[in-house]
Structures are given as C-alpha cells and as structure tokens.
C-alpha cells in the first residue's frame, strides 16, 4: 500500500509540474486589437495591425502630440500600428512577425477593415484567411474604409482606447449595419450572391485639433456583388436596408410636415419586419410587413398630441417616413445596383424550392423585377411627459 501511495504521489507531482509546459506569458504576446487590409501595386496587399501596448497604462506622453491620447491612463499611447506587405494576408503576417519581437496573437482582434480598393478588387481570398486561422474570432466586425484602411488605425480617439474600439461600439449601438465575419461568410455563400458591409471614415479635425486627434465614424454601406464592391449607399438609404433586414434598433425618426408647421421626433422602441415571398401567375412578389412602436421625444409644432385626431396624423407621418426610407433603399439597391442584399433569394428558396432552382442562374435578371409591396403599422405609444408643446402659451396651442 505504501508503495502504491508513493507511486501515486510521484505521478501526481509530475503531472502538476508539467501542467504549464506550453504556456505563453502575456509579456511575450503582441495582442492585435484591429487589422486593416489595403491593396498595393502588383496585386500585393498591405496588412496593418493595431497592437495593444500594456506599458502605456503606466503613463508617458506622446512626443509632439501632447495631452492624453488613445484613451490610455496617464496620457500614454494605448496602441501601436505596424504594417507589412505580402502576396496575401498570410505572407504579409509572416513578414510582419519578423519586425515584431512578440508573438502576434489574433484572439483579441475584434475589427477588420478592408480598404476601398481592396474591396473593389475582391475579398474572397482575404475571407479565406479569416475562415482558416484558428485564432480569428467569427464575432469580430468587418468594415470597408473610404480610401486606405490603415489610416483608420492611426487615429488616436480621445474617448476610447483605440480607433477599432470606437467603430466597434458604434456597431453595437446599431448606428449602422453590424456585420461580423460569420455574417460575411454566410452572405458570400448566400443564394443572392450579394454582400453589404458598413463603411467607415475619419471625422475632420476641428480648428486647432491635431489631424490624428479625431475619431472614425460610420457613414453608409458598401454594396458587393459576389465578392467585389460595386458601389456605396448613403446613411439614409442604409436605414431603409436595415428596416428591410429587420436590423433596426434604437432609431430616432424625425418628420417635418407643412401641415404641422414644425418637426416631430419619435424614438423607435420596438420594430419588426417580416418578408413574405409570393409567386402568382408567374410573377415574383415580396410582401414587406413592418410593425413599429415609438415614443414622442420632441414636439416642435404648436399641435397638442394628446388629442386623438392629432396623434393619428402624427402616426401617419411616422409611418410615411419609414415607408420613404424603405422605398429609397429599394430604388437604389434593387433597381439600380441590382444587388440582393435584402435576402430575397433565401426567402424564395425556402418557400418555393422548385421554382427557385428554375431561375437560380437567372436571378440577376429576376430580382430587379420582383414586385415589392409594403405594409407598415406604426403606433405612437406615448406622446411624452408633457401634454402640450413646451414654451407655448396654452391658448396658442392648436387642438385640431
């Protein structure tokens, strides 16, 4: 028994001693927070990475910049940007590793940005790297930048730790479309053969502000056919796309009508969109049903929203503004660009598999001709805490 216990103790000690044989110290890692891919001459690409600097948390300013930068405590720079060229991302990464004295680790990277020229040339090969690399997070967000993507990483925003964190937080707030690597792979494999990615640019610096002391922002959407970018749409058109894709969250809708003699703003608190495909007498149709609820957050008119007839008019204006955003998006994306970023193809395939396979190869011709009908039910849940417009004498408030 003693021998058995002794042998067990020795084995346990050996196992415990070998438990961390393959560990890597944090001090030996270069944690990538964001990455940018730009097109260079000769079909080469430039990979730029934003690396977290843990030492910056102890302080130390940026030479020539002054003040706190990049959200680091004590005025230290929070990230470092390094770049390298290669024939593809893997090649560029290998060359980049030769210049960085720590092991580059992708597990913390939450933002990937394609330069505009890269997006126009095609992103299939780049996405293949994301799919195969074991460290890449499928929940990381993907964007397209106006111009070169690397310049987005160079920005040192005053509020967040780094520029990648700024645009990631904007996506979480649903300011624009939020597309992850997983979403992107699904869209590329989708029946419609179209992709939509949010676009990012840099705010112009204010007077007296250093050009790097600004911040990135989302300003629209890049539209792809297959894996190549064919154009971009505005932020207003993006809102229509988000309504159609059932991605609207926490939106504010402002309407201005001559009849109101002012503007009214509603904060949308609940919204759902349902797509119902139909094939009738050989015609392909899509019925869009939208249900929206909102609270009135500002009344810039002289009308009393408590009165049912006035509230009904405001609800109609709320509905008309949503319909206008939907129709604007359909005109641009369906009729002009002919890119099925709404997912119509998947809906028809799901409900009419036999008919879908008959037109699958001609979908680019069928899709622009799909008849879209829109049914919107908009309800103002509350006119707010005030009963009549603020700052206006009660006798001047219109009751009809």
pLDDT digits (tens, 9 = 90+) for 125-145: 999 999 899 999 999 999 999
Domain for residue 3, yes or no? Answer: no
> Given a cut of 70, is residue 18 above it in pLDDT?
no
Of 202, 233, 264, the one marking the end of a domain is: 233
CATH classification at residue 286: 3.30.300.210
Domain for residue 17, yes or no? Answer: no
Residue ranges of alpha helices (H) inside the chain are 2-17, 89-97, 116-121, 124-132, 150-154, 163-172, 181-189, 235-244, 308-329, 344-351, 353-359, 363-366
DSSP secondary structure, 201-265, as one string: EEPPPPTT--TTSS-EEEEEEEEEETTEEEEEE-HHHHHHHHHHTT---S-EEEEEETTTTEEEE
> Given a cut of 90, is residue 197 above it in pLDDT?
yes
Q: What burial class does residue 188 get, using C-beta atoms within 10 Å of its C-beta: 0-12 exposed, 13-18 middle, 19+ buried?
A: middle
Task: Give yes or no: residues 189 and 44 share one domain.
Answer: yes
pLDDT at 232: 96
Task: Give yes or no: residues 203 and 344 share one domain.
Answer: no
Domain for residue 62, yes or no? Answer: no
> Given a cut of 80, is residue 258 above it in pLDDT?
no
3-class DSSP state for residue 146?
coil
Residue whose pair of structure tokens reads 């780049």 in the numeric block: 126
Radius of gyration of the chain (CA): 27
Task: Give yes or no: residues 187 and 242 share one domain.
Answer: no
Task: Give yes or no: residues 90 and 182 share one domain.
Answer: yes
Task: Name the helix (H) or strand (E) containing 288.
Answer: strand 283-299
322-343: per-residue pLDDT in tens? Answer: 999 999 999 999 999 999 999 9
Domain for residue 15, yes or no? Answer: no
User: Looking at the 3D structure of the chain, how many domains does it have?
Assistant: 2
Task: Give yes or no: residues 242 and 141 share one domain.
Answer: no
3-class DSSP state for residue 199?
strand
CA 171 from chain center: how many Å? 5
Domain for residue 106, yes or no? Answer: yes
pTM comes to 0.85
Q: Averaged over 281-301, what is the pLDDT?
A: 91
Task: Give yes or no: residues 118 and 260 share one domain.
Answer: no
Task: Give yes or no: residues 310 and 300 share one domain.
Answer: yes
Task: Give yes or no: residues 282 and 375 share one domain.
Answer: yes
Domain for residue 130, yes or no? Answer: yes
Between 64 and 271, name the one with better pLDDT.
271
Instruction: Give the domain extent around 134.
Output: 25-56+70-233
Task: Give yes or no: residues 225 and 89 share one domain.
Answer: yes
Domain for residue 6, yes or no? Answer: no
> Given a cut of 90, is residue 211 above it in pLDDT?
no
How does residue 20 score in pLDDT terms, banded at 50, 70 and 90? low
CA 357 from chain center: how many Å? 32
Of 212, 233, 254, the one marking the end of a domain is: 233
Domain for residue 14, yes or no? Answer: no
Neighbours of 238 (CB within 10 A): 25
Cα–Cα distance measured from residue 112 to residue 198, given in angstroms and rounded to the nearest whole number: 11
217-247: per-residue pLDDT in tens? Answer: 999 999 999 899 999 999 999 999 999 999 9
Task: Give yes or no: residues 128 and 244 share one domain.
Answer: no
Task: Give yes or no: residues 206 and 291 share one domain.
Answer: no
Helix (H) and strand (E) counts in the chain: 12, 13
Going from the C-alpha of 225 to that of each of 122, 193, 235, 318, 393, the distances in angstroms are 10, 6, 20, 33, 56
Cα–Cα distance measured from residue 166 to residue 35, given in angstroms and rounded to the nearest whole number: 14
The region of weakest confidence among 91-95, 130-134, 351-355 is 130-134
Of 233, 248, 272, the one marking the end of a domain is: 233
Task: Give yes or no: residues 220 and 254 share one domain.
Answer: no
* Lookup: tokens for 191: 């029946």
């Amino acid at each position: 028994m003693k021998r058995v216990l002794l042998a067990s103790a020795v084995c346990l000690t050996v196992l415990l001693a070998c438990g961390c044989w393959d560990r890597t110290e944090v001090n030996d890692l270069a944690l990538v927070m964001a990455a940018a891919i730009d097109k260079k001459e000769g079909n080469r690409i430039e990979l730029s990475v934003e690396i977290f600097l843990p030492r910056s948390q102890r302080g130390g300013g940026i030479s020539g910049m002054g003040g706190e930068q990049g959200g680091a405590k004590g005025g230290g720079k929070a990230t470092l940007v390094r770049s390298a060229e290669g024939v593809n991302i893997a090649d560029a990464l290998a060359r980049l590793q030769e210049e960085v004295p720590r092991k580059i680790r992708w597990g913390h990277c939450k933002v990937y940005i394609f330069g505009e020229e890269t997006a126009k040339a095609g992103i299939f090969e780049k996405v293949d790297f994301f799919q195969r690399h074991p460290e890449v997070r499928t929940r990381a967000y993907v964007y397209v930048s106006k111009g070169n993507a690397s310049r987005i990483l160079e920005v040192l925003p005053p509020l967040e730790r780094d520029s990648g964190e700024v645009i990631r937080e904007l996506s979480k707030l649903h300011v624009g479309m939020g597309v992850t690597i997983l979403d992107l792979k699904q869209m590329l494999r989708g029946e419609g053969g179209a992709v939509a990615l949010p676009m990012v640019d840099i705010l112009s610096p204010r007077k007296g502000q250093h050009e790097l002391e600004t911040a990135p922002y989302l300003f629209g959407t890049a539209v792809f056919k297959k894996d190549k970018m064919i154009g971009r749409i505005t932020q207003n058109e993006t809102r229509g796309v988000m309504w159609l894709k059932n991605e609207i969250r926490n939106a504010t809708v402002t309407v201005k009508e001559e009849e109101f003699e002012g503007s009214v703003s509603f904060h949308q608190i609940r919204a759902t969109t349902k797509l119902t495909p139909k094939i009738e007498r050989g015609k392909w149709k899509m019925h869009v049903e939208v249900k929206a609820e909102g609270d009135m957050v500002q009344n810039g008119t002289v009308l009393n929203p408590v009165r049912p007839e006035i509230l009904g008019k405001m609800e109609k204006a709320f509905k008309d503004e949503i319909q206008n955003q939907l129709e604007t998006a359909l005109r641009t994306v369906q009729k002009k660009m002919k890119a099925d970023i709404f997912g119509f193809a998947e809906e028809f395939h799901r409900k009419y598999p036999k008919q879908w396979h008959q037109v699958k190869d001609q979908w680019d011709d069928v899709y622009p001709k799909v008849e879209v009908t829109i049914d919107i039910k908009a309800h103002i849940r509350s006119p707010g805490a005030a009963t009549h417009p603020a700052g206006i004498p009660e006798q001047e408030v219109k009751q009809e």
